[in-house]
Amino acid sequence: MTPEHETKEKTTPVEEVIDDRTAQHRFDIPMLAGRLVAIVEWLRRRTETAVLPIGLFGASTGGGAALIAAADRPREIAAVVSRGGRPDPIREALKLLMVSTAPRVPARRASS
């Protein structure tokens, strides 16, 4: 999945147009985290998913958003897998995490 594809899954059509020109939304970690929190709340309201454990996965900016969402809803999110990304934009959220986390850093490719 390309970063462009990843971003478009998290944005509205209007936001896509803006993001294509400015890259404003693809790095808006708090906005993306807010959307994850809204999804978690929606899952909790549904009979089929209300009691199921919730885990989040995110890559790059999405990883930061997942960690912020987990810090915001510690009783709702059971685990987070974060692949890549930089922790410094979410340093405060990391201090609040109360869930299992599995940071994943891709292995370096050997030079040929």
pLDDT tens string 41-95: 999 999 999 999 999 988 888 888 888 898 889 889 998 888 776 666 666 766 6
Backbone φ, ψ for residue 55 (5° rounding): -120, 145
Q: Which two tokens stand for residue 48?
A: 């089929």
Nearest to 27 by CA among 85, 82, 67, 101: 85
Domain positions in the chain are 29-104
- 99 pLDDT band, cuts 50/70/90, is low
Q: What is the pTM of this model?
A: 0.66
pLDDT tens string 64-79: 888 889 888 988 999 8
Nearest to 59 by CA among 38, 39, 37, 29: 29
Q: Residues 96, 90: contact at Cβ < 8 Å?
A: no
Fold classified for 29-104: Rossmann fold (3.40.50)
Q: Residues 63, 84: contact at Cβ < 8 Å?
A: yes
User: Is residue 104 predicted with pLDDT exceeding 60?
Assistant: no
10 Å CB burial of residue 61 (0-12, 13-18, 19+) is: buried
The Cα–Cα gap between 68 and 85 comes to 13
Q: What is the mean pLDDT of residues 96-110?
A: 59
